[in-house]
């Protein structure tokens, strides 16, 4: 079987494995995907093909390995065997660096989402350490000499673009170390020593420092959060003393460190309470030795009486016209009712007709 026939047969098996996955036959999908990956890796070992020269085309397509690897990872996830993902990949591939990037990232994200972070950091760090920066645009697999003319053909297998490499860096440094493990210092230290382009390094450091600042602010808020409770207790205590008319309590509170804050809290609270109890306040008028105390309730009642007087005084003519119209309407209704009651007409000949009939009968 030549190379093209072998590739065609393996493509059919990959399609079948994907069909198993879609049909929720996860055991069959995982088994077939594992078999396909093992066969591809074994065939390439036996071919002993160099990474340079015309024989490069005998390698299986990178997409084929990525597709079968994705089927395997997703099947293990759906079977509840996410913890076995990296072990299976290590068995199937000769080196961590030969695992397709998308398969590696998917497996790592599955484990992180489930909280199983043990060994994930070592796995990702090992993968990143296997690549060397070349020409500020590519990462080359360590120990491989790649012809610049074959860069595109080798992309993904022996050569990675900077953006692909940075996807793994982000998951390792930002997501795992900085967010999940909450070890931003370690992430910053690793970023400073890693083999990155200067632009990507500065961008990564900015993100990590921003993450560090947010976490520091969050920790500070957690430490300071109990203080407002004590402040509210202190404010309520001084408010009680002020309402009882004790000036001594205010003098004692002035000696404390939170003097200005306490006064502001009391004033703010008094402004909030004042509108609620407006009806209970009084107005005091003082003239010499005489003092007149008028409650707001009496003032409001006086205003209401004045308003009623104004309505009756200035709208008197209108009210009279309205009353006359109502009286006229009632009178007219009564007259109509009276006329209707006595409008029945009695026929004056009704009593005579029976008599004339009797007279004609006698004749």
Q: Are residues 256 and 211 in the same domain?
A: no
- Please state, in angstroms and as integers, the Cα–Cα distance from residue 361 to each residue in 301, 355, 356, following that order: 90, 10, 9
Would you state the structure tokens that stand for residue 277, as one six-digit string? 């109890």
Q: Is 200 part of a structural domain of the chain?
A: yes
Closest CA to 6 of 60, 46, 49, 70: 60
Does residue 54 sit within a domain? yes
Tens digit of pLDDT per residue, the chain (363 long)? 566 777 888 999 999 999 999 999 999 999 999 999 998 888 776 665 444 444 444 456 788 999 999 999 999 999 999 999 999 999 999 889 889 999 999 999 999 999 888 889 999 999 999 999 988 888 998 765 555 554 554 555 678 999 999 999 999 999 999 999 999 999 999 999 999 999 999 999 999 999 877 766 666 555 555 544 444 444 444 444 444 444 444 444 444 445 455 556 555 554 554 444 444 455 565 565 555 556 666 777 777 887 787 777 777 777 788 888 889 889 888 888 888 877 655 555 554 555 444 444 444
H or E element in which residue 144 lies: none
Query: What pLDDT, on a 0 to 100 scale, did the predictor assign at position 5?
Result: 79
Q: Where is the domain boundary, 225, 242, 272?
A: 225
The residue written with tokens 């602010």 in the block is 217
**Whole-structure pTM value:** 0.57
Q: What is the DSSP letter of 276?
A: G
43-74: burial string, b at 16+ Cβ within 10 Å, e else: bbeeeeeebeeeebeebbebebbbbbbbbbbb
Which CATH number fits the domain that encloses residue 38?
1.20.58
- pLDDT of 248 reads 45
CA distance 286 to 131: 93
- The token pair that represents 136 in the structure block: 């500020």
DSSP, collapsed to helix, strand or coil, labels residue 199 as helix
Burial (0-12, 13-18, 19+ Cβ within 10 Å), 245: exposed
Judgement on whether residues 217 and 295 belong to the same structural domain of the protein: no
Task: Report the alpha-carbon distance of residue 83 to residue 114 in Å, rounded.
Answer: 9
Residue 199 shares a structural domain with residue 174 = yes
Residue 292: strand, helix, or coil: strand
Position 219 in a domain: yes
Residues near 180 by beta carbon (within 8 Å), at least 6 away in sequence: 112, 117
Map tokens 């109990």 to a residue: 226
Alpha carbons 184 and 177: distance in angstroms, whole number: 6
- Same domain for 162 and 243? no
Q: Are 189 and 251 in the same domain?
A: no
| Shared domain check, 174 and 134 | yes
> Quick one: pLDDT at residue 291?
59
| Phi, psi (deg, nearest 5) at residue 248 | -65, -35
CA 47 to the chain's CA centroid: 53
Shared domain for 118 and 219, answered yes or no, is: yes
* 24 in a structural domain: yes
For residues 158 and 126, membership in a common domain is answered with yes
Q: Is residue 141 part of a domain?
A: yes
Same domain, 232 and 210: no
The pLDDT assigned to 16 comes to 95
Rounded Cα distance between 88 and 34, Å, is: 8
Domain holding 299, by residue range, is 285-321
- Mark which of 34, 62, 80 sits at the end of a domain: 80
Q: Is 138 left (phi over 0), alpha (psi -120 to 50) or beta?
A: beta
In a domain, 156, yes or no: yes
Residue 160 lies in a domain: yes
The count of domains in the chain is 4
Helices of type H across the chain:
3-22, 26-47, 62-78, 85-92, 101-113, 120-129, 151-154, 162-169, 184-193, 198-224, 227-243, 247-254, 259-273, 296-314, 316-341, 353-362
**Is there a contact between 173 and 167 (Cβ–Cβ < 8 Å)?**
no
Rounded Cα distance, 214 and 363, in Å: 131
Tokens encoding 337? 């009712």
208 and 126, same structural domain? yes
Q: Are residues 127 and 140 in the same domain?
A: yes
Give the number of other Cβ atoms within 10 Å of residue 19's Cβ: 14
Is residue 99 in a domain? no
């Amino acid at each position: 079987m030549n190379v093209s026939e072998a590739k065609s047969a393996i493509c059919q098996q990959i399609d079948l494995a994907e069909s198993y996955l879609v049909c929720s036959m996860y055991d069959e999908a995982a088994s077939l995907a594992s078999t396909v990956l093992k066969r591809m890796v074994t065939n390439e070992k036996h071919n002993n093909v160099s990474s340079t020269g015309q024989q490069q085309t005998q390698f299986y397509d990178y997409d084929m390995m990525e597709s079968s690897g994705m089927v395997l990872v997703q099947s293990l996830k759906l079977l509840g065997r996410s913890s076995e993902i990296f072990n299976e990949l290590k068995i199937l591939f000769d080196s961590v660096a030969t695992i397709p990037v998308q398969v590696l990232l998917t497996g790592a994200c599955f484990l992180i989402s489930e909280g199983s972070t043990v060994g994930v950091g070592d796995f990702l760090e090992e993968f990143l350490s296997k690549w060397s920066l070349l020409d500020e645009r590519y990462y080359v697999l360590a120990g491989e000499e790649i012809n610049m003319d074959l860069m595109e053909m080798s992309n993904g297998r022996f050569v990675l673009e900077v953006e692909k490499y940075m996807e793994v860096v982000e998951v390792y440094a930002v997501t795992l170390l900085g967010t999940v493990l909450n070890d931003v210092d370690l992430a910053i230290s690793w970023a400073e020593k890693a083999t990155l382009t200067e632009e990507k390094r500065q961008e990564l450091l900015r993100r990590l420092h921003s993450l560090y600042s947010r976490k520091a602010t969050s920790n500070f808020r957690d430490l300071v959060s109990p203080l407002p409770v004590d402040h509210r207790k202190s404010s309520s205590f001084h408010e009680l003393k002020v309402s009882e008319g004790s000036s001594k309590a205010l003098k004692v509170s002035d000696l404390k460190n939170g003097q200005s804050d306490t006064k502001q809290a009391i004033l703010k609270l008094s402004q909030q309470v004042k509108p609620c109890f407006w009806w209970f306040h009084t107005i005091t008028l003082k003239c010499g030795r005489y003092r007149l105390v008028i409650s707001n309730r009496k003032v409001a009642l006086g205003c209401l009486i004045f308003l009623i007087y104004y309505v009756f005084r200035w709208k008197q003519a209108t009210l009279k016209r309205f009353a006359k119209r109502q009286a006229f309407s009632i009178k007219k209704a009564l007259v109509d009712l009276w006329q209707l009651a006595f409008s029945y007409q009695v026929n004056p000949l009704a009593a005579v007709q029976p008599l004339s009939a009797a007279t004609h009968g006698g004749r």
